[in-house]
């Protein structure tokens, strides 16, 4: 559930990794990265690049 919440935060916000980790219930960004690597075989930053709904200019992309 914590990983799923982190995924949503990464997709829908531009919050820092520390803030995403805190809000998702991980003790640190390091812990978030370790859980992502174990479960999703990617890093949180790479996940955000692939699945973020934000465009480079910061506006929501049209789906």
Boundaries of every domain in the chain? 2-51
CATH architecture of 2-51: Orthogonal Bundle (1.10)
Residue 34: the pLDDT is 98
- Counting Cβ atoms within 10 Å, is residue 56 exposed (0-12), middle (13-18) or buried (19+)? exposed
Determine the Cα–Cα distance for residues 29 and 53; give it in Å rounded to an integer: 21
Q: How far is the C-alpha of 57 from the C-alpha of 27, rounded, in Å?
A: 31
The confidence score (pLDDT) of residue 14 equals: 95
Q: How confident is the model over 27-50, as pLDDT tens digits?
A: 999 999 999 999 999 999 999 999
16 pLDDT exceeds 70?
yes
Question: Mean of the per-residue pLDDT values for the chain?
Answer: 89
Tell me, what's the pLDDT at 62?
Answer: 45
């Amino acid at each position: 559930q914590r990983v799923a919440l982190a995924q949503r935060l990464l997709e829908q916000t531009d919050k820092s990794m520390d803030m995403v980790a805190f809000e998702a219930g991980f003790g640190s960004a390091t812990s978030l990265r370790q859980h992502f690597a174990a479960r999703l075989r990617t890093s949180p930053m790479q996940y955000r690049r692939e699945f973020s709904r934000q465009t480079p200019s910061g506006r929501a992309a049209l789906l």
